[in-house]
Structures are given as structure tokens and as C-alpha cells.
Amino acid sequence: SPFQKPKQKRHRCRNPNKLDINTLTGEERVPVVNKRNGKKMGGAMAPPMKDLPRWLEENPEFAVAPDWTDIVKQSGFVPESMFDRLLTGPVVREEGASRRGRRPKSEIAKAAAAAAAVASTSGINPLLM
């Protein structure tokens, strides 16, 4: 029978579009997204479907990835009271979380151009006129 095959050790998030709602076991790993920085967590780090309600309560900054929202809703593993923790679209990062790192090149170029313009207009030696 098909149930005798050994359990796969590799925990991957299945492609939600290929998942059949009627064959869910609760072991499916559900990718979650950190609402503070938009980082996605999947695979072995992702909580199994059957533990999702408890996991979401313990990790309030996370929500279910949008492509899994429908499956989680239909799965019956998550109570309707928690449907607000399911994302319907990409995470809009809170401003401030993404301020780390280097400025985009264009900003630096603009600043340099502005500085050059100021220097060229005000810094000309009047004796050379």
C-alpha cells in the first residue's frame, strides 16, 4: 500500500498550487513571513500546519505567506479567529526596517552633482573672469 513508504526527512514547503486540500495531513510546512522586515521563513524552519495556531500565537510578528492563505483557511487547522494572521498580499515593510545598508547609487550621484553644481557657481575665482 502507498502508506508503507518511509517518511521523507527533508522538510520543504510544498508548492501550494499543487497541494490537494483533501489530502492534507497537518504535517505540511507552512511558510511564514516576518511582518516587521518582510523576511520569509520556509522549509525546516516553517511551522507544520497542525501547529500553526499555537505557533502564530507564540510568534506574533509572523503571518502566513500569501500564497498559502487559501489553503490554511480551507484546511480546518486554523480557527477563523486567526484568519487575520494570514497575509493576502506581499508584506509592506515598516519604514525604518529597510534603512540599513548603503544608499542607492542614484542618491549618491545626485548629491555629488548638486555639490559640483554649487562649487561651479560659487567657487569660481573672480580674477579668472
Chain-wide mean pLDDT for the chain? 77
CA torsion sign for 105, 110, 116, 119 is negative
User: What is the SS3 string spanning 7-38?
Assistant: CCCCCCCCCHHHCCHHHCCCCCECCEEECCCC
Q: Where are the domains of the chain?
A: 9-94
Residue 64 or residue 15, greater confidence:
64
CA 124 vs CA 37, 94, 119: distances in Å? 48, 45, 8
What's the chain's length in residues?
129
Position with higher pLDDT, 1 vs 122: 122
Q: Which CATH architecture fits 9-94?
A: 3-Layer(aba) Sandwich (3.40)
The predicted-structure confidence for 43-91, as pLDDT tens digits, reads as follows 889 999 999 999 999 999 999 999 999 999 999 999 999 999 999 887 7
pTM of the model: 0.60
β-pair partners for 40: 33
